[in-house]
Chain A
Amino acid sequence: NAGVTQTPKFRILKIGQSMTLQCTQDMNHNYMYWYRQDPGMGLKLIYYSVGAGITDKGEVPNGYNVSRSTTEDFPLRLELAAPSQTSVYFCASEGLENEQYFGPGTRLTVT
């Protein structure tokens, strides 16, 4: 099993550009999450999904959108990137014991 994979690993965006962060898991988990981690801080929940076709906002959803058309994929869309979205983004899926498996992260810089 590859677990949770994320692409790209690094990206530099200009202000106002858009991009999609990809997340895929091969563990057949229903629950999936997107977090952002700012320097020296813990992770904050952006969006989550409890299954295909169902998504909901987390703590910091503004400026982001998600979709969940399949169990495996949970992409995060940034529209009109802003410097405040410079962060490391982690995708996670949840196992049967409520443990979360995290992807390797995407380091995004908006300049």
Chain B
Amino acid sequence: AQKVTQAQTEISVVEKEDVTLDCVYETRDTTYYLFWYKQPPSGELVFLIRRNSFDEQNEISGRYSWNFQKSTSSFNFTITASQVVDSAVYFCALSEASAGGTSYGKLTFGQGTILTVHP
């Protein structure tokens, strides 16, 4: 069975600090997909990134960066120079791949990390 663990329940930082959100996953599949979603106080879920299991290249998008390490089954998310608008619940998720190698989209979510950025 697949499992996603976000050990940090809550993180509190002051604006402009860097913060890393941890995600550790378990799967027996050799092909799988990892995702991060953001849930701001308004409640909707916003897609941030998808990474497949064959691509261990780190990715940077503005102040966001992701570090995928298969050896430790981790997919960590770093926000550089955090801002108040980054305050949200962040979810890491995992999905299996079909025989054709594409994601089924049946996501297994972690419990989420509540990030609070203080001014």
A45 x B106 contact (CB < 8 A): yes
Which of A19-27, A61-69, A70-78, A98-106 is near enough to bind chain B? A98-106
B residues adjacent to A (C-beta < 8 A)? 4, 33, 35, 43-47, 50, 91, 93, 95, 102-103, 105-112
Main secondary structure of the interface of B (DSSP, over half): strand
A48-B105 in contact given A42-B91, A101-B47 (Cβ < 8 Å) = yes
A residues adjacent to B (C-beta < 8 A)? 31, 33, 35, 40-45, 48, 58-59, 88, 90, 92, 94, 97-105
Q: List 22 A-B contacts (CB under 8 A).
A: A31-B105, A41-B111, A42-B109, A43-B91, A45-B106, A48-B106, A59-B108, A88-B43, A90-B45, A94-B105, A98-B50, A99-B35, A99-B47, A100-B45, A100-B47, A100-B105, A100-B107, A101-B47, A102-B44, A104-B43, A104-B44, A105-B43
B91 x A98 contact (CB < 8 A): no
- Cβ–Cβ < 8 Å partners of B106 in chain A: 33, 45, 48, 58
